[in-house]
Amino acid sequence: MTDLTDLTLSETLKGLAEKAFSSVEVTTAYLKKMEEKRHLNAYITETPEVALKMAEESDNRRANGQAGKLEGIPMAIKDMFCTKGIRTTAASRILSNFIPPFESTTTQKLWDAGAVCLGKTNTDEFAMGSSTITSYFGVTKNPHDETRVPGGSSGGSAAAVAAHMCAGATGTETGGSIRHPASFCQVSGFKPTYGRCSRYGVIAYASSLDEPGVLGRSIEDCARMIEVMMGHDPKDSTSSHRDVPAFHTMLDKTIKGMKIGIPKEYTELVPDNWEKAIQFLKDEGAQLVDIDMPHTEEAGMVYYVVSQGEATTNLARYDGVRYGVREEGKTLDEMYMNTRMAGFGQEVRNRMILGTFFTSAKGYNDYFVPAQKMRSLIKQDFDRAFEKVDVLFSPAVPIKPFTIEEAKHGAAKGRFNDNYLMPSCLTGVPAGCANNGLQVIGRMWDDATVLKVLDVVEMMK
C-alpha cells in the first residue's frame, strides 16, 4: 500500500470515502511520521491520544453516514489558535502552561467537519517574526534543507505539511506569515479576505491585520480547508455575513481571457522560475497587464507602526494575574515587571516598546496617524489596480530560505523578505502562494478567483 502520508488531503478524503483505509489508520501513519521527524521541531505539542480518539469517532460517523467535509483528515493547528483542553502557548514562555477552557471558532469548525487534531505547531513568538527563530521552544528546521529556516511565522505548520507530518494545517497572517513559509517550504498557502474567518480564540497580535488561513500540499487542499473555516461568527465583530461557496468545486483549471496584473514594484527581484511563469500564463490564454502600485515601498514602515502599536494593547493582558506564567515580586508592580520581563522574548519586548512609543501622545500624531493615512493610500493602489485587472501576480518571497545561523544574525530583516506580502495584509484582500512560490492577490471578497488562478499556476511544471 502507498504510504498514507504521501497522499494529499483531497486524495485522503477520496480514500476514506471509498473505504480504502480508515481515519484511525491514516492518523496512526501521521503519528508515526511525526515521531520519525520530531527533530524538525515542527510541533510544540503533540496530541496522539486525542488524535486517535477523534479518528475513531470519525470512523464511526462515516460508518453511520454522517461524514463531514473533512471527515477523518489529520490536521496540525498553529499554536496561535486556542484549543480547549490542549496547551496553547503562542510559542512564548509567558503562555507555556496555558490550557484554554474554550475553543477558537475556526478550529471548532474544523472539528465539526470531522477533522482530527494531531497537535499544535511551532511559530515565532506571538507570530512576531519570519523564521520561527523567536520561538521559546526553539527554531523549526526546513524539511528540504535542515540548515535553513522554514519561514514564518507559520513555519511549524508549513514544515509539517512539507514533511508529510499532517494532511493540512492552519496558519495566521499579520504581515505575510502564511505565504512566507509556504514559499520557503514549497507548499501552498492561502489567506482569505479579512473578516471571512473568525478571529475569536486566535491569540491576537495586531487585530486589524490578523487573519486565520491554511497551508496544504496543493491549492485544492487549501480550498477544502478554508471553505470549512469561513463563515459568520457573532463572537467576532469584524466577521462577515457573506455566504461561503464550495471553493474546491470552482477550480476549473482555466484562466483563458482573464486579465492578470503584474505590479512592477513586486518584480524588482524575481526567482528563477519567473520568466517561465509569465510565459505559462500567456500560453494559458491570460492577458497580462502592467500595473503601478506606487506606495508599495512604504508598506513595510506602515506595517511595523500599525502592528506594533496594536500589539502593545493586545499583549497588555499578559500580566501574571489571571493565567500563564507568573514571576513573584514584593509589590504588584514588581510582579508585573518580573512576569513580563521573564515571560516575553527579546523580539516581543522590542516591538512592545516601539508600539508603546507609537501610541504615546507624541508618537500617535507623529507616527501612528500618518501610518494609517498611508495605509489608505496603499488600499487605493489596490482599488485602482482592480479596476483594470482580475488579479495581481508576483513572486511571494523572491529570495531563498536563509540559514538558521543567518536568521540568528538578522537575515530576516532583509528588504525582500516580505516586501511583496505586507501590502495585501494592510488592505485585507485575499492572497495565496502556490507550491512553486508564486503569488496571486485578488479584490476584496473575491477569494474564489484567487484560488482558481492559484490552482492553474500550480499546473506549471
Mean pLDDT by 10 residues, the chain (461 residues): 90 97 98 98 98 98 97 98 98 97 98 98 97 97 98 97 98 97 98 98 98 98 98 97 97 97 96 97 98 96 97 95 94 96 96 96 94 98 98 97 92 82 98 98 98 98 78
Half-sphere exposure of 358 (CA within 13 A, CB side): 25
83-110 confidence digits (pLDDT tens): 999 999 999 999 999 999 999 999 999 9
* pLDDT value, residue 232: 98
87, 203 in Cβ contact below 8 A? no
Give the E-state strand segments of 41-98 in sequence order: 43-46, 74-78
The predicted pLDDT at position 147 comes to: 97
Instruction: Tell which CATH classification among 3.90.1300.10, 3.50.50.60, 1.10.1270.20, 3.40.430.10 matches the domain 4-250.
Output: 3.90.1300.10
Strands 211-216 and 188-191: antiparallel
pLDDT of residue 432: 98
- Other CB atoms within a 10 A radius of the CB of residue 220 amount to 20
pLDDT tens, position by position, 44-88: 999 999 999 999 999 999 999 999 999 999 999 999 999 999 999
Alpha helices (runs of H) in 261-320, residue ranges in sequence order: 274-283, 299-314
| Residue 23 among the catalytic residues | no
The residues, ordered by sequence, that sit 6+ positions from 106 with a Cβ below 8 Å of its Cβ are 81, 170, 197, 198, 201, 202, 212, 229
153 is catalytic: yes
Q: Pick the catalytic residue from 130, 131, 177, 307.
A: 177
Contacts of 94 (CB under 8 A, 6+ apart): 318, 320, 324, 325, 339, 340, 342, 343, 344
Rounded to whole angstroms, the Cα distance separating 61 from 46 reads 24
Query: Which residue ranges make up each domain of the chain?
Result: 4-250
Give the pLDDT score at 413. 74
List the end-to-end C-alpha distance of the chain, in Å, as a whole number.
Answer: 27
Task: Return the pLDDT at 238.
Answer: 97
Q: Give the pLDDT of residue 84.
A: 98
Instruction: Specify the pLDDT at position 461.
Output: 78
Query: What confidence tens digit (pLDDT) does each residue in 239-286 have?
Result: 999 999 999 999 999 999 999 999 999 999 999 999 999 999 999 999
Give the separation between CA 187 and CA 396, rounded to whole angstroms. Answer: 12
Instruction: Name the active-site residue from 22, 131, 153, 188.
Output: 153
> Residue 364 in contact with residue 234, Cβ under 8 Å?
no
Task: Please indicate, yes or no, whether the overall pTM of this predicted structure exceeds 0.75.
Answer: yes
Active site residue 78: yes
Strands 168-173 and 74-78 turn out to be parallel
Share of the chain above pLDDT 90, in %: 97
Which residue among the candidates 33, 69, 78, 120 is catalytic per the annotation? 78
